[in-house]
Amino acid sequence: MQADQAAIASWIRGARAIVVLTGAGISTESGIPDFRGPNGVWTKNPAAEKTATLQHYVSDPEVRAQAWHNRVHGRYWDAEPNAGHRALADLERRAALDTLVTQNIDGLHHKAGSSPEKIVEIHGNVREVKCLSCAWRAPMEVALDRVRAGEVDPDCPECGGILKSATISFGENLVPADLARSQQAAARGDLFLAVGTTLTVYPAAGLPEYALANGARLVVLNAEPTPFDPAAGAVVREPLGEALPAIVGAV
Ligand SMILES: [Zn+2]
């Protein structure tokens, strides 16, 4: 084990309130594409970004048909958590995890066994479908079954409104309660782990600022440099599927 990983393990052991923020980097080893990175889906194919932009989704039935096709055939539905997700679930059993905030919509922290009450999915999730006009929500399978049965753009059974995965699209506001919960956790924690996130997409990227303002120690685990590296007590560049199990295993 490397010296910095041993140090991080000791910080985790000594912390009284750990806040973890995860981004796309933790799920790439599960085969889920990075959307915004240098080799990201949207970087290579800007048209694909339309399906995730609320304005296009609402105004263009063809964008919705494409989005439903993607949901039926996409990787989110059969992806499995990797060693990094499992290490974070393990962390909760070994140390004082306060909150696990994720920018990911893939639900893999749930699948890996992290406690649902500890998780804040700040960009929503793909496990549920929601109506954009009323409060109707249901498990995503309910809508996918209708698409598999031949509907190209299933509508809301309550009001006829447009249905969408319960994710936060571009142009859509975050859920205020989720954001507040994340900020409050960051502000009371004494150790903040930023995992697989470039820390450039706000407001999630602002969470380390709350932690640092409270005097918390910051650890960045990401393959690429982040704007917060100079403020971090340690920076880990190794693949998360190797580094996280090594660190958590030493707690
Ligand atoms: Zn509705």
pLDDT tens-digit map of 213-245 = 999 999 999 999 999 999 999 999 999 999 999
Check residue 171 and give its pLDDT.
Answer: 82
Closest CA to 120 of 42, 1, 233, 22: 22
pLDDT at position 127, please? Answer: 86
Distance 47 CA to ligand 1 centre (A): 27
CA of 138 to the centre of ligand 1 (A): 11
Segment 30-85, tens digit of pLDDT = 988 766 555 566 566 666 677 778 899 999 999 999 999 988 887 666 789 999 99
Residue 44 CA to ligand 1 center (angstroms) comes to: 34
Cα–ligand 1 centroid distance for 50 (angstroms): 22
- More confident: 38 or 202: 202
Higher pLDDT, 3 or 158: 158
CA distances from 5 to 21, 69, 82 (A): 18, 43, 19
pLDDT confidence of residue 52: 76
Distance 35 CA to ligand 1 centre (A): 29
User: What predicted TM-score, i.e. pTM, was given to this entire model?
Assistant: 0.88
Name the catalytic one among 56, 109, 110, 123: 123
3-state secondary structure of 96: coil
Q: Is 110 a catalytic residue?
A: no
How much of the chain exceeds pLDDT 90, in percent? 75
Structure-block tokens of residue 155: 């509508």
Query: What residues pack around ion ligand 1 (CB closer than 5 A)?
Result: 131, 133-134, 136, 156, 158-159, 161
Report which of residues 205 and 191 the model is more confident about.
Answer: 191
What is the pLDDT of the chain when averaged over all its residues?
91
| Cα 128 to ligand 1 centre (Å) | 14
Between the alpha carbon of residue 122 and those of residues 26, 67, 140, 159, 186, the distances in Å are 15, 21, 18, 27, 13
User: How many Å apart are CA 23 and CA 224, to the nearest integer?
Assistant: 12
